[in-house]
Structure 1
Amino acid sequence: MRQDALHRTDPTAGQAAENTILPLVLMVLSEFDRYNITYFYWKSSNRLHRALTGEGDVDLLVAQRDQHRAQAILLERGLKLFPAVACRDHPALSSYLGYDEPSGRIVHLHLHIRLVAGTSLLKNYHLPWEEALARRAIVHPGLLIRMLEPVDEALLLIVRGCLELRRSDPVVLRNWQAMTHKFARDRAELADRIPRTALRRRAAELLGGELADVVADALYCQPELEHQRHLRRLLRRHFAPHRIYNDLEAGLRTMIRVAQLLAGHLNKRLLCIPRPWSRRAPGGGHVVAVIGVDGSGKSTIVATIRQWLGEEMDVIPIYFGTGAGRPSLILWPLKLMVPLITPLFKTKPKGSSHGKISDRPPGRLYSALMTIWATATAIEKRIKLSTAHRGARRGLVVVTDRYPQNEIAGFNEGPLMPRLIGIPQWLRRFEANSYSLAQRLPPDIVIKLVVPPEVCARREPDMDPSVIKQRIAAIPRLAFSGARVVSIDAQQPLPDVIRAVKKEVWRLL
């Protein structure tokens, strides 16, 4: 795309459109033009604007001779290559993610080197039309991007519809109504503005004369594309020499990918086992720890990071606290007993954080009960620490609410037994060893949420004010040796806090 071509459009329409395009996307497209990269957007023109504004994926097909220069441009502009897990990888497709800081959105750019089609889980057919489509690609009249010529878009729509709309594909079946409606809408829109003779002539050039009439009829006549069984058989036969796998192997691979898709979905929603299921972080995963006193907004930030990154890469959350978060099976029975035991103590001893607190040190009964709790907590933290770093080594992004430490005893996720009485030394050593593991396995980045005492007191009215002050004063002393530590003022408006956290997390990936 030449620079003069960028300006052969209505300047008013172009300016209005540019105001909504993500700056990062616009920068990449400008660089492609500057270095004469042969490319075009090859999906539906109806969804092009959504892609450029970050609401959908940007699917660009780049000429094979330009692929390395295009990849260099993407990397130089801050986009990062996120490889898919091996079972879902395709040699002609790579995924680049970039963070558009002004909008807070993640840009997902699919870089296609070859034109492939098929089911959502297995793109089994190569359509050898890359050069033919690139020669006729046009500049969008209002957006600074090259796209398919309308006749080529219609032809590709028919081929893709016949190869992709299959009820045997669980992803398509789950979204069957939306998928069929999308293809029907695109088909109707193109049929209104493309002459049948032009489509038939182009189909004859790319598919041969025997398929030209059938393909042309598919755009204008009933039934819908998902019901064009005869045309589907003809197209599969035509592209059979360009398949990646034969029917038997394609069927087996699809079954395996369906099983892995279901397992990944279950893992993402419920299990949170440290196993990659979709797309891993480049160069290995990372552990992101969010710490702060109660009421600083840790849970909100962890949930935000998980939602922000989770749509594009493998992310698992881990809760290291003992409060309202998700406990392990070790701590869960004890948490059920807490409401039954709490009424036995009118006040809590010195060192507690919530409830009515006295100046007395812990008694023997309280120490005995807390020893059981502290032991179970230490075991749980050891297991979760191993899980977090095992997941990171496998390429996952692990986001933790709190993080164990042995720098300050008694609170801020530190050892509990030092403040108790009558505890055997071997049990104290057992707890200490669990927390020393956190020192040996520090997170990659620690996000410290800093708030003044009055904000915490307002958000956590049940927490002792003196404890709030002590913990806020202790937060700066936590070094987490080996981790990059970032302090963020959590008193500022939530959108500003989230923006600051996203910026630091993206720098890490």
Structure 2
Amino acid sequence: MKPLPVIALTGSDGSGKSTLATSLVARLRTVAPVEQLYLGQSSGKIGDWIGTLPVIGPRFKAYLVRKSDKVHDQPGKPPGNVTALAIYLLSRWRAFKFRRLLAMARRGTLVVTDRFPQAEKPGFSIDGPQLAKTEGGNWWVRMLRQREHRLYEWMATHVPLLVIRLNVDVETAHARKPDHKIASLREKIAAIPHLHFNGAAILDLDGRDAADHVLESSMRAVTAALQVAGA
């Protein structure tokens, strides 16, 4: 399959993805139609929105956070029916945004994404299927797990033109994102370098370098990738 006109930025929280995405889009808009798209599952933003609902909002948000943390901290234990459904719907939301990405690509738009779904390793924290981190469960949970995995397998068949992977150590990541759990950051930092994104071209950069240096290195790689794609 021909690579999508997509520049996918990956890396741990605190690696500089958002800063680089904004800068890349600003530079690329001078030479081509380009859009920026966030491809995370957006559970934090959805949780914040739920928290604003009157009366039940704060309690329901706290409930979802506890359930999400339980799945992350106890992956060997199958989730309950409601938790499994909530996780599956978050994956469906990610797939909805991915279809928006495909529509942009069909229009000839170059898309810069913050994160990109993969089916190699489970876990929302590294953009994989979350229910695949768990085992067992009743027929409902098993069905949702299978459907979620097929969803990620479908998304992963689409290869981005270039993956820019920002590598960073856990101390730097936590200094930039002090509200994140160190254990979670450490898990992401250990797993992300081993993702291959279905054979996509990958540029590894040091997220601790100056933002200008990271941007210039990225622009050179993007320019080269676009030239090869247009050849």
- Normalised to the residue count of structure 2, the TM-score between the two structures is 0.80
Aligned partners of 1:407, 1:481: CA distance in 2, in Å?
9
Given candidates 199, 204, 208, the residue that maps to 1:491 is 208
State whether structure 2 residue 86 is matched by structure 1 residue 373. yes
8 Å CA contact retained: 1:389, 1:441: no
The answer for the alignment partner of 1:461 in structure 2 is 178
The runs of 5 or more residues in structure 2 that have no matched partner are: 52-56, 227-231
The structural deviation recorded for 1:311 is: 3.6
AA of the residue aligned to 1:483:
A
SS of aligned partner of 1:351: helix
Q: Which has the higher contact order (CA 8 A, sep 6+)?
A: 2
Which of 1, 8, 12 is the matching residue for 1:293? Answer: 12
In structure 2, C-alpha distance between the alignment counterparts of 1:437 and 1:312, rounded to whole Å: 31
8 A Cα contact 1:349 1:361, kept in partner? no
Q: Is the 8 A contact 2:84 2:141 kept in 1?
A: no
- Report percent identity of matched pairs: 27
What is the deviation of 1:384? 2.5
Report Cα offsets for 1:455-505 as digits up to 9, x if no partner. 011111122212212211111110011310111011111111111111111
Q: Is the 8 A contact 2:43 2:90 kept in 1?
A: no
- Which residue of 27, 30, 35 maps to 1:316? 35
Distance, in Å, in 1 between the alignment partners of 2:218 and 2:83 is 35
**Structure 1: which 5+ runs fail to align?**
1-283, 353-358
Instruction: Tell me, yes or no, if the aligned pair for 1:415 and 1:432 is still in contact at 8 Å.
Output: yes
Equivalent residue number for residue 403 of structure 1: 116
C-alpha displacement at 1:394, in angstroms? Answer: 2.8
Q: Residue by residue, what CA displacement relative to the aligned partner does 1:277-326 show, whole Å, maximum 9, x if unpaired?
A: xxxxxxx971110011111111111111111112432111111113499x
Preserved contact between residue 385 and residue 438 of structure 1 (Cα < 8 Å): yes
The answer to whether the 8 A contact 1:381-1:434 is kept is: no
Select the structure that is richer in helix.
2
Aligned twin of 1:351: 72
Which residue, out of 133, 151, 166, partners 1:434? 151
Counterpart CA distance in 1 for 2:13 and 2:208 is 13
Aligned to 2:99: 386
Please report the TM-score for the alignment, with normalisation by the length of structure 1: 0.38
Query: Structure 2 CA distance, aligned partners of 1:323 and 1:389?
Result: 19
Could you tell me how far apart the structure 1 residues matched to 2:88 and 2:66 are? 24
1:318 match: secondary structure = strand
Q: Which amino acid aligns with 2:182?
A: P
Match of 2:129 in 1: 415
Matched, 1:449 2:170: no
Q: Structure 1, residues 365-386: CA drift from partner, whole Å, max 9, x if none?
A: xx44432332222222223323
DSSP 3-state at the match of 2:165: strand
Aligned match of 2:229: none
Q: 1:490–1:431: structure 2 CA closer, same or farther, 3 Å change rule?
A: same
**Which residue identity is paired with 1:294?**
D
How well do the aligned residues superpose, as a CA RMSD in angstroms? 2.8
SS of aligned partner of 1:444: strand
Distance 1:346 1:400, change over 3 A: closer
Alpha-carbon distance in structure 2 between the residues aligned to 1:439 and 1:287:
13
Q: What is the letter of the counterpart of residue 151 of structure 2?
A: S
Deviation of the 1:424 alpha carbon: 2.7
Distance of aligned partners of 1:350 and 1:380 in 2 relative to their CA distance in 1, 3 Å threshold? closer
2:6–2:162: 8 Å Cα contact kept in structure 1?
A: yes
